[in-house]
Structures are given as C-alpha cells and as structure tokens.
Amino acid sequence: MYRFRSTRSVILTCVLLAATALAAGAEEAGVSEDAILFGQAAALEGPSSALGQRMRQGIVAAFTEINARGGVHGRKLQLISRDDGYDPDRSAAQTLQLIEDDKVFALIGAVGTPTAMATIPITSARNVPFIGPFSGAEFLRDLELTNVVNIRASYSAEAEAWIKHLTEDRHFTRIGIFYQDDSFGRDGLRGVKRALARRGLELAVEGTFERNTRAVKAAWRTIKRAEPEAIVMVGTYGPCAEFIKLAHRSGFYPTFVNISFVGAVALASELGPEGEGVIVSQVVPFPWDRSLKLVADYQAAQRAVDPTQTPDFVSLEGYLSGRLAAAALEKAGPEPTRASLLRAINDVGRFDISGSTVNVGIRMIEAPPKVFLTVIQKDGTFKAVDRQ
C-alpha cells in the first residue's frame, strides 16, 4: 500500500488501517500484527514536486524489496505520502494529520529545511522518529534532537567541497551566491561564507529569490554587475535553471555550482543543452554505477515497482532511507516501539546497506558522509568532476 495523499483526499483507507491496528491490540501507533505504517510529508505537487516524488519512489522501492522478502519480523512496511507543497504551514498541518489521524509509526523522507523547521517541534514533542530528511541543514544535526535520523552530508560539507574546488582547482577568487531567501538558503550562505573565510576570502556578491517562485531577474541584475567568476546556487531546480538560462541569454558564462538539494536530474532536464558544464554536489553514490551492490539493488528494486523509472540521485537517497528504516527495525526486535527503534539506531550507529556503510548519530560525526562533485554533460548525463 503506497498512496499519494493531497490535502483534499479522503483518508478512509487510513482510518481503516488505524481501526485494524486497534482491533489487533497493537500497543504502538502504526504497528499492527502484519504491518508497520510510515508517513511522508513532502512536496508532491507544485514547482518542487520532483523532489518529493523522487524521494517517495525510492522509499517505496525499498519497502517493496523488503516486503518481498517477508517484511521485518513478519510485518510489511507501508507508506502514506501527503503533499505539503514545500510550504512550512502546510507541512506542519500534514505532519499532524499523519501522526494524529493516520497514526503512523514514524516519519520518513521529508523534503526541505523550512518545512523541517516547522515540523521538528511537532515530532520531537511526541518522540516520533524523523528518518532521512532530504535536507542538510545544520539544526537537524543537533544531537539533542534524538528523534532525527540523518543519513546525508550537511550543507556546510557541500559548501566546503564547492569552495575547495573553485579556489584550489579553478583558482577563482571572485565567487557569488544565488540563494533561496529562507532558512534553507541562509544555511547554505553561512556554509559558503565559512569556507571562504578559511581561505581569507569573502563573497563577491549575493542575490536572492523567494521560495516556490522563479522570480530571479532582480537577483540576476545584482549578481551580473559584480561579474563573479563562479556562482554557487542554493535553491531548487526551477529557479536555478531559470537563472542559468537568463545568464546564458545575456552572454555571461560563469561557472555554476549547485547544491544537492537542487535535484540534479530535474535540473539537467530543465536546462537541456544549456546544462553542459554546470556542477552539482552529490551526497549519495552515483546511481548509475552498478558495480556498487547498493546501486544494483536499488535499480532492481526500482524496476520491480515500475520498469519505466530511471535512476536518480534523489530516489537513491529515498531508497537508502527506506533500507535504513528496515535495518533499524530488525535491530529493534519483534515488538517495535518508537523508542526502541530510535534506541537501536543510536546504539548501533553504523549500518551496512548492501555493502555500503551508513553512519548515523555520533558515528556520523566521527565518519562524516562523503560529498563529491558531478558535472552535467551536453546530453544531460553526469560525470564526476576531475580533480587537479
């Protein structure tokens, strides 16, 4: 059962699931004799929908793979996804519905920093596991947020990788930034400023845009006047593509570097041939590299759900989140509770997912997740950036 739920959808099936759980005498929300129910609040419609949809596809692929092997301790993993439109207020409302009405056991695959800022107080107060958020925000890495389970690198780590490449490999000194004017964009801004300061540099120029819009002309005019050699971008695929195309139409071709949250494949699709040379940082393995067992398993799981789905960095991250949730449930034992799941995650700290190690909690601080840079080719494919 993998259902897309908008704010207007009827939740009859969810009510029936909750009733079934109660009838079975389940002592923990979302846990019945034969199922464990997860919830996702993410952008499934609107200008950032590719991010939420791809995360969902990856989670569903992982759950389907686990369920085909009998589930976890005899229970199948199920997912309800609700659309929040990448809007903090809607995300808070949808998260409350998932917890209080749908009675989910845990949340998984949330998308965004501003939405997480609105929902973390809700989940933390109830000690609801918040697994694999699609965000590298620093506040999510506070170890006092014991219900948050991060698997991806921080935005600061991505910013360090950008600035290291631009200054040490490209020898650039004039670097500008284009960012979303909210908590997400400002998190990236702080990371870039710190990385530059470590090298005795400052930003050449800043330009901003409003979330869920493509209103980028004002930022473009501001940034163009400074004529930076490179522009780092902290936004989603739509406005970032709009900005890059506007620059090219103006005959300006700086080096563009994008954050992983942009949605690399969606960005390449939006840009078409104009994407050639655009750099995107990544926080999961190359999703086309079948020499990695993780990637081979991911692709097989994806095909089992829908043979038309193509590999993608975002859905691979969703798949990793789903596999991690299943691995942690195995450790939590045959009668899982929210507390025992979080305890298992934090006590183990290191999980083997198809031969690839995923570190969480304190282990993530000891061995941070990797960041690597990719560059879009003329045909829209990706290759790793060559280091000098």
Contact, 52 vs 42, CB < 8 A? yes
Which stretch of DSSP H or E encloses residue 7? none
Place of tokens 């506007």: 246
Which residue, among 109, 67, 172, has the nearest Cα to 320 in the 3D structure?
109
DSSP letter at 250 equals: T
315's tokens? 């859905």
CA dist 182 to 70, 186, 312, Å?
43, 6, 26
Whole-angstrom Cα distance, residue 85 to residue 387?
A: 38
Contact, 66 vs 324, CB < 8 A? no
Tell me the chain's radius of gyration from C-alpha atoms: 21
Write the CB contacts of 236 (distance below 8 Å, at least 6 apart in sequence). 47, 48, 51, 86, 180, 261, 262, 263
Q: What is the pLDDT along the chain (388 residues), one digit of tens a residue?
A: 565 544 343 323 333 333 333 333 347 999 999 999 999 999 999 999 999 999 999 999 999 999 999 999 999 999 999 999 999 999 999 999 999 999 999 999 999 999 999 999 999 999 999 999 999 999 999 989 999 999 999 999 999 999 999 999 999 999 999 999 999 999 999 999 999 999 999 999 999 999 999 999 999 999 999 999 999 999 999 999 999 999 999 999 999 999 999 999 999 999 999 999 999 999 999 999 999 999 999 999 999 999 999 999 999 999 999 999 999 999 999 999 999 999 999 899 999 999 999 999 889 988 999 999 999 999 999 999 975 4
Contact, 165 vs 143, CB < 8 A? no
Helices 264-271 and 237-249 meet at what angle, rounded to 10? 30
Contact, 300 vs 61, CB < 8 A? no
Count Cβ atoms within 10 A of the Cβ of residue 339 and give its class: 0-12 exposed, 13-18 middle, 19 or more buried. middle
Whole-angstrom Cα distance, residue 99 to residue 107?
A: 8
Quickly count: other Cβ atoms within 10 Å of residue 240's Cβ.
Answer: 30
Contact, 94 vs 83, CB < 8 A? yes
Which residue, among 271, 212, 283, has the nearest Cα to 246 in the 3D structure?
271
Place of tokens 């590719």: 50
Whole-angstrom Cα distance, residue 36 to residue 34?
A: 7
Whole-angstrom Cα distance, residue 338 to residue 182?
A: 31
CA dist 93 to 41, 77, 131, Å?
9, 24, 18
Domains of the chain: 35-153+288-354 (3.40.50.2300), 155-282+372-384 (3.40.50.2300)
